[in-house]
Amino acid sequence: MTVVYNILLVLHLVGWAIVLGGTVTNLRTPRLAPGVLHGALTALVTGVLMVGVAEAALDAELDHVKIAVKLVVAAVVTALVVAAGRRKEPSRGLMGSIALLTVVNIAVAALWR
């Protein structure tokens, strides 16, 4: 199951990379890059699956507060991406919020011990 967890981790990181890269590259002329919604959904789903695998198969000690914070931030990022996708021309503030919250989610994962 460690292999499954590691595959999910790679997919999770790729999902966040797509969201961050697709958002930052389009901050000057605000538009949502193709694939950003798929990246956000990939990151959200693989994050939930990682927690399930770690709890069920790896018997890992997880910090549930950290997981809850990351889940809320990921859900907000996904909702903002959906909102940006529905607009013809999303605002810079909306695109900046997506990028900032993505960085916050990455920072929580890397720095919260």
Helix (H, G, I), strand (E, B) or coil at 72: helix
Q: Are 52 and 41 in contact (CB under 8 A)?
A: no
Q: How far apart are CA 57 and CA 13, in angstroms?
A: 21
pLDDT band of residue 72 (cuts 50, 70, 90) is very high
Q: Which tens digits make up the pLDDT trace of 37-69?
A: 999 999 999 999 999 999 998 888 899 999 999
Q: How far is CA 111 from the centre of its chain?
A: 16
Give the chain's domain count. Answer: 1
pTM of the shown model: 0.92
77 contacts 105 by C-beta, under 8 angstroms: yes
Q: Of 66, 2, 83, 15, whose CA–CA distance to 44 is shortest?
A: 15
Q: For residue 100, how many C-alpha atoms fall within 13 Å in the half-sphere facing its CB? A: 6
CA–CA gap between residue 88 and residue 107 (Å, rounded): 31
The pLDDT, as a whole number, for residue 1 is 87
For 27, the domain range is: 2-111
